[in-house]
Amino acid sequence: MNTKPPTDCAAWAKLAAHAKSLRGTRLAELFSRDAARAASFSAAAPGLRLDYSRQRLNAATLQLLAELATQRGFDDWRRALLAGEALNTTEGRAARHSALRAGDAAPPEVKAALARMCELAARVQTRFRRVVHLGIGGSYLGPRLVADALSVKRDFTLELAWVASPDPLALGRALEGADPAHTLFVVVSKTFTTEETLANAAAAKRWLGERPDVGQHFIAVTADERAARAFGAGEVLPLWDWVGGRYSVWSAASFCALLAIGAGRFEEFLGGARDMDEHFAGAQLERNLPALLALIGVWNVNFLGAATHAVLPYAHALRRLPAYLQQLEMESNGKSVDREGRALGYDTAPVIWGEEGTVGQHSFHQLLHQGTQAVPADFVVAGASRELDAHAEAQAQALAFGTGVTDAALPPHRRCPGNRPSSTLRLERLDARNLGRLLACYEHKVFTQGVIWNLNSFDQWGVELGKQLARKFLSERR
């Protein structure tokens, strides 16, 4: 498969020249020239619709981006991913997270793990009153997002708490008012060596005291069953080395999310991701939502010079989406060497940031509208209310077209320049299936950008360095 630099592709040079030719073109002009632009520059997948008409591009841009994807061997890379080939070359591993949501086609061990999760969930409901999830990074961000987005208080009798930080205050707050006899800890660590998580697990064990049944108060989710048993976990749910942490939301890492939303909705969540896998596998490039998001992102980063990207969910239930995508995108593609170990001469992942939509409007949207940097944005709209939908549409319109651009009577401090790109990703409704579709869509976007930038999107050696140094400092201070 193609592992040459993308800058060697003929389409890359064409895109650079094309960007220069569009430099003076404003979004208002693109809309005035094409009355059907809003309909033409959109695409749909099951449960989702993407409107990218407010991006600073035209049909020629899309054609050149598609040429770049073809020259990068996108079809071959996509086939290899979905076939479970060992694409994580620095660790010699496959990236088979799509197998976790493959339904009837899932590997036997995946089906068995899901059945075990459902069985344990039923038992937990009968014995415990509070469940505390201990994890960090991919062992925390995805499961917490799913639980927050989909749990309904009246359907959920357990008290669920989440702890990622090793600051004792975090665990202390999670345990306020809890009865040790009726408290369960779910320890999620793929390697069972994560310092922060194990520190919290040890503190939890001390809090439980000298109980003869202490092991029954711990469920471990890990690839190292031996280490989990040595710690004293009474139950162990599996992870596999072919599932990266930031891609593990579909696995037993989400046991607490399953507790929160119920086994039926969790299977719907998996089914939604499977729908997106099928769309990604079969849709033509120009109608393929994840691929379009990826190519538009490449255009903004490499040819329009965008260094950051804002994610703005207009639904309180999705308020944790920006944090989830920060890890997914920046840990996957925040790289400065390519698959062959060569230093890069082009930019890769932008800084991902954002906030719940209307909250951000009263915080950083000032910079989005009048700051010196143009920040591309994704508006994620879930039909939570007509008011939220109206705010999202108004913000996207204001970014695109501004005000006072040609009105000399408007004082300078009130002028908004406009011409700032955004896309709107709309869920037909916010439910388990559509949330699965949304998260899988972003996963495939990240993979596609990795293909374009010639990156291994499945390792994270920069993260590993920090872990190693932390262990060294901790050992020196003991």
Is 362 a catalytic site residue?
A: yes
CB 459 within 8 A of CB 91: yes
Is 467 a catalytic site residue?
A: yes
Write down the catalytic residue from 331, 355, 356, 443.
331
How many C-beta neighbours within 10 Å does residue 314 have? Answer: 27
Tell me the three-class secondary structure of the chain, residue by residue: CCCCCHHHCHHHHHHHHHHHHHCCCCHHHHHHHCCCHHHHCEEEECCEEEECCCCCCCHHHHHHHHHHHHHCCHHHHHHHHHCCCCCECCCCECCCHHHHHCHHHCCHHHHHHHHHHHHHHHHHHHHCCEEEEECCHHHCHHHHHHHHHHCCHHHCCCEEEEECCCCHHHHHHHCCCCCHHHEEEEEECCCCCCHHHHHHHHHHHHHHCCCCCHHHHEEEEECCHHHHHHHCCCEEEECCCCCCHHHCCCCHHHHHHHHHHCHHHHHHHHHHHHHHHHHHHHCCHHHCHHHHHHHHHHHHHHHCCCCEEEEEEECHHHCCHHHHHHHHHHHHHCCCECCCCCECCCCCCCEEEECCHHHHHCCCHHHHHHCCCCCCEEEEECCCCHHHHHHHHHHHHHHHHCECCCCCCCCHHHCECCCCCEEEEEECCCCHHHHHHHHHHHHHHHHHHHHHHCCCCCCCHHHHHHHHHHHHHHHHHC
Is 286 a catalytic site residue?
A: no
Write down the catalytic residue from 153, 176, 362, 476.
362
Active site residues: 331, 362, 467
